[in-house]
Structure 1
Amino acid sequence: MPEDVRAELRTLAFDVVLAHRRGELPDAPALTPEQVLHVLGRCLDEEVPSAQGGMLAEELGALSRATPVIDTASGERAPHVLVVGTGFSGLCAAIRLDEAGVPYTIIDKNPDAGGTWHENVYPGCGVDTPVHLYSYSFAQRADWPRYFAKQSEVEGYLLDIATSYGIRKQVQFGTELETAEWVEDRQHWRVTLRRVDNSTYTAEYPVVITAVGLLNRPAYPKLDGLDSFTGPVVHTGAWDPGIDLENKRVAVIGTGASAMQLVPAIAGTAREVTVFQRSAQWIMPNPNTTRGVEPAKQFLMAEFPGYLAWYRLQQAWKFGDRLHPMLRIDPEWPHQDRSINSENERHRQFLTRYIEQKLAGRPDLIEKCVPDYPPYGKRPLLDHGWFDALLRDDVALVGEGVSRIDGQRVVTSSGAEHEVDVIVLATGFQTLNMLAPMEIHGRDGTTLRESWGADDARAYLGMTVPNFPNMFILYGPNTNAGHGGSHVLSVEMQVRFVLQALARMAKRNLSSIECRQEVFDAYNGEIDAALDGSIWTHTGMTTYYRNSKGRIVTNTPWTNADYWHRTRSLVAEEFIERTRDL
């Protein structure tokens, strides 16, 4: 854009700011979904597909996202709900239940709210999604200090939400759901709850909402000799804040998201950091990962909520469904060994160039750091200083896995030995063991684990399972948007769907509502067929998305807009309903 045009626009914008502060600006007109897409497309100089219109208009606030309300004055009775968890999902559920007038009890195994953001406190921990997007649509903050918030900032946001909405004082902290059993003749869930002092008690609730997420149980590798290691061993997902790394030789096993953040944070404190990598990761450059939000932008966001809303909308598109086409395998694409379609290949070349530029002069590191699979085959990661850390003299990258621990030595698959003082396990979470360690018995006594199998969780829309009435799973099977976007976006969609079910129960005097088996089967057939054409099933791909049979359990094949359309309105015919005895 020519500088004279820029200057003219700045002058016009300044006049608008002054007019706003004098209260002279009229209210902005409500936009249609088509107008939202038009404006967004002009801002980004690209065409945004029409299928995105409804979802993006709702995110902007141009379409209503009203919570159903229970009409107690006309005799409607809402069932009492047990909510398990106080992370993003559980707090969202509690807020909407309050708004709807639905009574609930909320528990959490931790001593305070925040979920995974309370538990994960390793050095460098933070979000890999722009934080203005990684927050509730109904509780936006204009004063985020960074574009990509750190753990303490996200936890602080959630604690503020829990306090300001009056939820924090209601939570039964230090309480875990141990078992749940459906009692058919009472149409209730009988639950056993365990307190932090190990005492247990039972209670009954008509409805249970699990909001425990995917990233709450650390996965520990089975390494011979690990138990006999002579120094401290700590998992990033169960970090000990008291651990001393100063002047220590630290082994970091794993190169996923937590390692990418941890290593730059501890390099320079530890005497040596040795990273053990089984496979390389595709890493995205983004200058904002380490930048603070400029005061001028914070001012605009605070003064003009509409500016914040449009900024957030751009993030929702750019970091979300805009990336989805890169996940679909083009069967005619000739270079399946390195990419899956032309757009995916373009990204591969761009990301390879970035690696080569960051590691210029170190062909040994470049060879270790360029993955041998297509981009987006695993969770895409952001560069939080990873390549800069690898160039340090006190950081070493070992391009092979660990086979065993021998005393103070880490032994790799080739037999090479590395003597260390501390082992850090950056080995992720038990994502396939959903809802563990809870034991949930359905209508016929079968447990959810028996119904699913050891690692093959399935649900209709990721939320409901036949023979488990009145149970709703938030952030359940096949709801993780592996292409990008915000987990919070899908959580708000899911909570609205659950509230529609509860409102229907109240309005029609229902004692239970349950997904029909044929609906469940058809939906999961759709899921599997769509996933078969995705990058995650590419030959040789092994990730935490896939189970022992190769099925994708965590990720969704849908765009965020697809899921919005599927969850926007509950279809009564898809559920079995039982009327409450009067």
Structure 2
Amino acid sequence: MTTTSPNVTAENNSGCDLLDDALRDANIPTLIAVLVHLTGDDKWLRAPYAPKRARGLDDNDDGGLPDEIQTEIRMALRCAVTEYDAGLLTTTAPSAERVTEILSAVLHEQVPVEYGPLLSEELGITSRSVALTAQPAESGFSVGVIGAGMSGIAAARELQASGIRYEILEKNDGVGGTWFENFYPGCGVDTPSSLYSYSFAPKSDWSRYFAKRNEVSEYFEDTAETAQILDNVVFGVEVTSATWDDDNRIWTVIGRTRSGERIERTYSVLISAVGQVNRPSIPELDGIDTFQGVAVHTAAWDTSIDVTGKNVVVIGTGASSMQLVPAIADAVGSVTIFQRSKHWVLPHPNYQRPITDEVKLANDLIPYYTRWYRLRAFWNFGDRLHDSLQIDPDWPHSDRSINKTNESHRVFLTEYIKQQLGERQDLLDVTLPTYPPYTKRPLIDNGWYATLTRSNVHIVESSVTRVTETGVVDSDGNEHPADILVYATGFKIQQFLYPMEVRGRSGRSLRETWGPDDARAYLGVTVPDFPNLFILNGPNTFAGHGGSAILATEFQLRYALQGIERIASGAAASVEVRQEVCDDYNSKIDAMMDAMIWSHRGTETYFRNSAGRVVVNSPWKYIDYWRWTLEYKSSEYIEKG
């Protein structure tokens, strides 16, 4: 390692000034990780330089360190980056064990060494991509991808890089899936921006720590363009059916254009990338067609809607409602919110926080800064929470919490709600949940409680029983006038691949196989009787303990590509997961779920189907699911030539 001081000249003064700006506002624990990565010097992992542990979800920007220590860290990194850029510093990629050591030090908590290989992937030291090495044995080999959203873009990128012939059928006029469709006021992610991006395409210039819809949509558009997949997308085609032809080992896919034109395609392999949040769910209410005002689901928002001075009724208090209502409260005459069940809401200090120009410079100018910052978020928002979601059978307060840690979360969040309500403690009964935190998906506070205290905002716990020409009637018989009626009622999440009719080898459809709401698949990806079909974001793949849907999608995609390579190479004409393998896997899921918070019956949740089985969430830690999906095993499949 070179230790000489950088030679700063007039020509590079400007660049050094920019680096100083970047270092001034950068996150100190992340800078320490980068410094050790670049120099290999362990002293930065020990006192007096080692960061203190963050409080809650705080970003811990100063590491809890005194100003003089922070300055020393910045100056050391300034020298290291300058030497690195000049080619004077030789850096060795840290081993998997080393990555966990560095991350443990900058988080001030022990990250198990078993995470090393997974963390190395997230850091970009090892690749998660699996470009297919075998060229298709059959000249007509092709892959059909349904959907050009988050998972469809990732799948197409891998196929493009592998030289595999493929085509995407997309019902919309652009890519991005749910981020193309949803643009209601306040729409944005509730996952940190650094995590809501592909591992292969980390974005260095997010404008906010939690990005809003337009920026997320642009990210997916830019990624699709960079991957050069747009020429392979057929836009404006709604897939209605897919049928497996076992004699010819192909999928026949039928779709409709908006003009009603029928199209037909055949593919050797079919990838479903339709996701879980693409079909709005609208409640069946008497009189729903009689309403004379504007009625809209949040997922079908019309930008011409003007809420100024209007009486708005919002049905639902889920994620979209909690983003929408604070965004329109200033402009409306009144907003009345119908609440079926209360939600636990998490405070996050970064939720409304913009990313400064200096931090953007840090992402641009400091090697590995973006990656190490993301890695900290990966741990903080991922598996560290998983153990606290296990039910303690001896816990005496099972009605309100499931274990000691969960009880501490309940106490903290209860106090937070009280603080946010301020003088409006009369709202506590209608806002404070009585079930354990994390039973339902917790939401990030977007100024929700402060909005509820406004004089023009009203929350109603009665259900809507009827829609009239001028408003809605609740279960107590009270009518609530509305100029605009908003359905913030979520999606048909439990109806995977809805409304397509997908028929497998036996001629049975997925709907007949699964029933209306009991989807099961091996690893959430493959289903017996449906050869050469790979599902992304299928049943039991949502990481309910946190993190990002993109992470699990990348794991699934790597697995699916290995199966596709078996077919493309000619090793098999069709692959179909064995029934006993799928059954055994789902038995393990159900056994795990019985011990986890999502089986708690304190409230309704879309995680569970009508029979009470959890069909949406994954019970696994990321490290476990990563292991499950690392390797496609031919022994688990019926492979036909």
TM-score tier, shorter chain, comes to over 0.9
How many angstroms apart in 1 are the aligned matches of 2:382 and 2:596?
A: 16
- What amino acid sits opposite 1:266 in the alignment? I
Match of 1:398 in 2: 460
In the TM superposition, what are the counterparts of 1:493-508 in structure 2 within 5 Å?
A: 493-508=555-570
- What amino acid sits opposite 1:11 in the alignment? M
Match of 1:40 in 2: 103
TM-superposed CA distance for 1:381, in Å, is: 0.5
| CA RMSD of superposed structures (Å) | 1.5
Kept in 2, the 8 Å contact 1:462–1:475? The answer is: yes
Kept in 1, the 8 Å contact 2:243–2:252? The answer is: yes
- Check 1:78–1:558 CA distance in 2 against 1; reply closer, same or farther (3 A cut): farther
Match of 2:79 in 1: 15
- Check 1:81–1:543 CA distance in 2 against 1; reply closer, same or farther (3 A cut): same
Kept in 2, the 8 Å contact 1:278–1:401? The answer is: yes
Mapped pair 1:120 → 2:182 = yes
Question: What TM-score, normalized to structure 1?
Answer: 0.96
Deviations 1:194-218 (A, max 9, x none): 1121110222111100100000000
Match of 2:626 in 1: 564
Kept in 2, the 8 Å contact 1:70–1:506? The answer is: no
Kept in 2, the 8 Å contact 1:70–1:102? The answer is: no
Kept in 2, the 8 Å contact 1:404–1:410? The answer is: yes
Match of 1:59 in 2: 122
Match of 1:434 in 2: 496
- What amino acid sits opposite 1:375 in the alignment? P
How many angstroms apart in 1 are the aligned matches of 2:133 and 2:254?
A: 28
Match of 2:221 in 1: 159
Match of 2:252 in 1: 190
TM-superposed CA distance for 1:229, in Å, is: 1.7
Match of 1:456 in 2: 518
How many angstroms apart in 1 are the aligned matches of 2:404 and 2:434?
A: 17
Kept in 2, the 8 Å contact 1:214–1:431? The answer is: yes
Could you list the runs of 4 or more consecutive aligned residues of structure 1 that deviate by over 6 angstroms after TM superposition?
none
Kept in 2, the 8 Å contact 1:68–1:503? The answer is: no
In the TM superposition, what are the counterparts of 1:257-272 in structure 2 within 5 Å?
A: 257-272=319-334
- What amino acid sits opposite 1:385 in the alignment? G
Identical columns (%): 49
Kept in 2, the 8 Å contact 1:189–1:208? The answer is: yes
Mapped pair 1:485 → 2:540 = no
In the TM superposition, what are the counterparts of 1:290-305 in structure 2 within 5 Å?
A: 290-305=352-367
Deviations 1:321-347 (A, max 9, x none): 111122211101111111101111111
Mapped pair 1:535 → 2:597 = yes
- What amino acid sits opposite 1:129 in the alignment? T
Match of 1:24 in 2: 88
Match of 1:356 in 2: 418
TM-superposed CA distance for 1:502, in Å, is: 1.4
Q: Name the stretch that deviates more: 316-325 or 402-411.
A: 402-411
TM-superposed CA distance for 1:11, in Å, is: 2.6
Kept in 2, the 8 Å contact 1:472–1:498? The answer is: yes
- What amino acid sits opposite 2:156 in the alignment? A
2:403 to 334, 341, 345: 341
Match of 1:317 in 2: 379
TM-superposed CA distance for 1:109, in Å, is: 0.3
- Check 1:78–1:312 CA distance in 2 against 1; reply closer, same or farther (3 A cut): farther
How many angstroms apart in 2 are the aligned matches of 1:328 and 1:433?
A: 27
In the TM superposition, what are the counterparts of 1:468-483 in structure 2 within 5 Å?
A: 468-483=530-545
How many angstroms apart in 2 are the aligned matches of 1:569 and 1:305?
A: 32
Match of 2:236 in 1: 174
TM-superposed CA distance for 1:462, in Å, is: 0.2
Mapped pair 1:372 → 2:434 = yes
- Check 1:350–1:377 CA distance in 2 against 1; reply closer, same or farther (3 A cut): same
Kept in 2, the 8 Å contact 1:253–1:276? The answer is: yes
Give the 3-state SS of the residue equivalent to 2:231 in structure 1.
helix
Deviations 1:206-255 (A, max 9, x none): 11001000000000012222221221111001111111211100011110
Match of 1:443 in 2: 505
Q: Name the stretch that deviates more: 63-72 or 150-159.
A: 63-72
TM-superposed CA distance for 1:133, in Å, is: 0.6
Count of matched residue pairs: 577
How many angstroms apart in 2 are the aligned matches of 1:374 and 1:578?
A: 49
Q: Mind listing any 5+ residue stretches in structure 1 that lack a counterpart?
A: none
Mapped pair 1:422 → 2:508 = no
How many angstroms apart in 2 are the aligned matches of 1:368 and 1:362?
A: 11
How many angstroms apart in 2 are the aligned matches of 1:262 and 1:130?
A: 19
How many angstroms apart in 1 are the aligned matches of 2:201 and 2:190?
A: 20
TM-superposed CA distance for 1:129, in Å, is: 0.2
- What amino acid sits opposite 1:237 in the alignment? A
How many angstroms apart in 2 are the aligned matches of 1:560 and 1:18?
A: 36
How many angstroms apart in 1 are the aligned matches of 2:323 and 2:248?
A: 49
Deviations 1:119-163 (A, max 9, x none): 011111000000111001111111111111111111101111111
Kept in 2, the 8 Å contact 1:76–1:509? The answer is: no
- What amino acid sits opposite 1:113 in the alignment? V
- What amino acid sits opposite 1:235 in the alignment? H
- What amino acid sits opposite 1:6 in the alignment? Q
TM-superposed CA distance for 1:172, in Å, is: 0.3
How many angstroms apart in 2 are the aligned matches of 1:513 and 1:79?
A: 15
How many angstroms apart in 2 are the aligned matches of 1:92 and 1:559?
A: 22
Match of 2:155 in 1: 93
How many angstroms apart in 2 are the aligned matches of 1:400 and 1:147?
A: 36
Mapped pair 1:132 → 2:194 = yes
Match of 1:278 in 2: 340
Q: Name the stretch that deviates more: 193-202 or 87-96.
A: 193-202
Kept in 1, the 8 Å contact 2:316–2:337? The answer is: yes
- Check 1:66–1:109 CA distance in 2 against 1; reply closer, same or farther (3 A cut): closer
Q: Name the stretch that deviates more: 361-370 or 546-555.
A: 361-370
Give the 3-state SS of the residue equivalent to 1:296 in structure 2.
helix
Deviations 1:464-508 (A, max 9, x none): 001100001100000001111110011111111111111122334
TM-superposed CA distance for 1:443, in Å, is: 0.7
Q: Name the stretch that deviates more: 208-217 or 288-297.
A: 288-297
TM-superposed CA distance for 1:417, in Å, is: 2.5
How many angstroms apart in 2 are the aligned matches of 1:178 and 1:247?
A: 42
Q: Mind listing any 5+ residue stretches in structure 2 that lack a counterpart?
A: 1-64
1:224 to 276, 286, 294: 286
Kept in 2, the 8 Å contact 1:77–1:506? The answer is: no
Match of 2:270 in 1: 208
TM-superposed CA distance for 1:66, in Å, is: 4.1
How many angstroms apart in 1 are the aligned matches of 2:144 and 2:615?
A: 26
Kept in 2, the 8 Å contact 1:219–1:429? The answer is: yes
TM-superposed CA distance for 1:191, in Å, is: 1.5
Kept in 2, the 8 Å contact 1:321–1:560? The answer is: yes
TM-superposed CA distance for 1:291, in Å, is: 1.1
Kept in 2, the 8 Å contact 1:80–1:104? The answer is: yes
Question: What TM-score, normalized to structure 2?
Answer: 0.88
How many angstroms apart in 2 are the aligned matches of 1:406 and 1:66?
A: 54
TM-superposed CA distance for 1:78, in Å, is: 8.5
